[in-house]
Structure 1
Amino acid sequence: MATKDYTMSNQLRHNCVSVTMTKKKELSHDLRTHGVNAHSGGKGYKAISKELDVPVSSVQSIIKMFNTVKNLDGCVRKRKVSSRVTRKICRHANNNSRITTKALIDTLNQAGETVSRFTIQRILQGGGLHGHRPRKTPLLTQRHRDARLAFARGYLDRDTNFWSSILWSDETKLELFGYMDVAYVWRKKGKAFNPKNTIPT
């Protein structure tokens, strides 16, 4: 019987070494299972420690603190913002892509929530919303779009000789909708040309 236990202990220690090569602070699953079963069978911490060749503190951690043989998640700091507030922030940014973090902070302060600018940015980025400069597009109605599409299709098959005879006129920059150098929008990937994420020029 003693020989069998000695052989099992050697095998378990071998498994432990192979596991600790990758996870230094975790004992192997077989080793922990054997320790828990041995304690359930009436053995003390020191006897189990000597049998498995591990510190007594490790045996105590397995049996007392963890009370399980599973790998437990690491200690994670509690989230500062609840899931309800997170959804509220993302909803505001989805409804108004031009809203600023300062405006979001003011809105949350009125509701009794104190959140920093960096926390709001992390929440929005976690929801797939990233700050981008809005694409500048002409201010067109649907009638304009239809007319331009028909015009483009009419000249689709023209050769290079035709286009070389065209004199392209210059365009003057007129900012009819205020300064556009500091404008940002919160949008998801692939939504750059959504009308609410563009600036008319």
Structure 2
Amino acid sequence: MPKTKEISEDPRLRIVDLHIAGKGYKSISKSLDVHHSTVRQIVYKWRKFSTDATLPRSGRPAKMTSRAQRRMLNKVKKNLRVLAEDLNISLEHPNISVDESTIRKTLNKNGVHGRTPRKKPPTVQIKTLLHV
């Protein structure tokens, strides 16, 4: 399921106020131009936690910032054969220490996959064979 932007606090307050006033999910969604399942989730959260503020999420926060990811992707675009070890060394400069597997996972998420170049015979040997 794709991630979408979060609804700000003001529309969430309006949704809760309209729900308290006795309006249904569909009428609230039509009046505020928000999907009815979003309205239902906001009302459910308000009932369960007695708040409409954004609560902290579970899970470990990402270690790499989006800026570090962009910097790493730009280095890979310049040199496709750069190693994960070299990228890790370049990322340690701004006090980010991540594992090489994290770097590979980040590259894979952004569509950069590891490839092994095709083995080709050396051109020097072919030329010597042709001149003989």
**TM norm structure 1:** 0.34
Structure with more strand by fraction? 1
Structure with more helix by fraction? 2
Q: Which has the higher contact order (CA 8 A, sep 6+)?
A: 1
Greater C-alpha Rg: 1
**TM norm structure 2:** 0.49
